[in-house]
Amino acid sequence: MNQAYDDGYIYYPGLTAFPVTLGHEFAGEIVEVGSQAISKRTGKLYEKGEPVTVEEMAWCGECKPCCDGYPNHCERLQEIGFSIDGAFAEYIKVPAKLCWSLRKLERNYDDVFKIGSLVEPTSVAYNAVIERGGGIRPGENVIILGAGPIGLVSTKILKTAGAGLCIVSEPEEHRASLAKKMGADYVINPIKEDFVEKVKEYTDNEGAALYLEATGLPQVVTDDIQNAIWECKAVNSTVVIVARAEQRMPVCGEFFQVKRARIIGAQGHSGHGTFFNVISSMAAGMDITPMITKEISIEEVPENIKLLQTDRKNCKISAIIN
């Protein structure tokens, strides 16, 4: 993934069904309410005008993984903006069970839709580092590889959760400066600097409780992660894989045995209280809007999607539909 092939396509492992309207990170206002569209906030029908955001994963609720409490692994999954119509449109029809109220954000944010549209990617990061990765104890160090949107939001979540040092590895300078804005204590440029030596220097050889693979380049970064685990003092580290990639990770079992370390896979954002907790964190002051580096109109979406194929300066581009 993330690598253009000769024919100009990229490898994308998720669901797609074309033609489809794109757009899976969004927020909006309720304009019509179905006869059974119950709000989780009030226990009654949704009210017109309520601001909401929506899970992108349309889990069925009836298959074995769903019934076992694992909606991110639904066997009959549909994905809004990929296999069913998404939100680059004036209106979108979604199941009430996927909606989450943004009312509590109205106290702290002038534009609840702008930050509300970031609840989905923030929930992917929260699922990775808190739900799947087990979170951290305040004071523990964390290392994030890759300052794309998921790496950046994970930085903010883990600092909010009380991380000691948060070290981000990222070669692109605009992304590196965004990582600082999101709370990173140090940024390593893995192309110009020796990753393991820098981790040892910044953490005084302690290492980290949690490593997040958010680059999509496991064949490049796995050695760095393992060597840092091996050479630093920390035992019991968790490596969370959140970026999608088709390449395999070459793993040395010995390192994971001796250092009591583990590798955890993370996918999706649904269930486990995640959307609710992300919205509550934002209401309590976890502001991730610095990730929005540009605002455009709905008409400008196609040209900006093309732009993002080569533009690494922008992070999240927010499209506003009036």
Using CB under 5 A as the criterion, which residues of the chain lie in contact with Zn ion when the complex forms?
Answer: 59-60, 63, 66, 74
Whether residue 169 contacts residue 277, with contact meaning beta carbons closer than 8 Å, is answered with no
Smallest distance from Zn ion to CB 71, Å:
7
Smallest distance from Zn ion to CB 64, Å:
8
Provide the β-strand partners of residue 211.
Answer: 143, 239
Smallest distance from Zn ion to CB 70, Å:
9
Q: Among residues 59 and 211, whose Cβ is nearest to Zn ion?
A: 59
Q: What is the CA radius of gyration of the chain?
A: 20
Q: Among residues 71 and 81, whose Cβ is nearest to Zn ion?
A: 71
Q: Among residues 76 and 233, whose Cβ is nearest to Zn ion?
A: 76
Helix (H) or strand (E) holding 178: helix 173-181
Cα angle 24, 241, 193; round to 5 = 110
Closest CA to 81 of 322, 309, 319: 319
Q: Among residues 70 and 109, whose Cβ is nearest to Zn ion?
A: 70
Helix (H) or strand (E) holding 66: helix 64-67
Q: What are phi and psi of 61, to 5 degrees?
A: 85, 0
| Burial (CB count <10 Å: 0-12, 13-18, 19+), residue 321 | middle
Smallest distance from Zn ion to CB 14, Å:
16
The residue length of the chain stands at 322
Smallest distance from Zn ion to CB 274, Å:
17
Q: Among residues 70 and 230, whose Cβ is nearest to Zn ion?
A: 70
In angstroms, how far is CA 164 from the centroid of its own chain? 21
Smallest distance from Zn ion to CB 72, Å:
10
Q: Among residues 66 and 161, whose Cβ is nearest to Zn ion?
A: 66
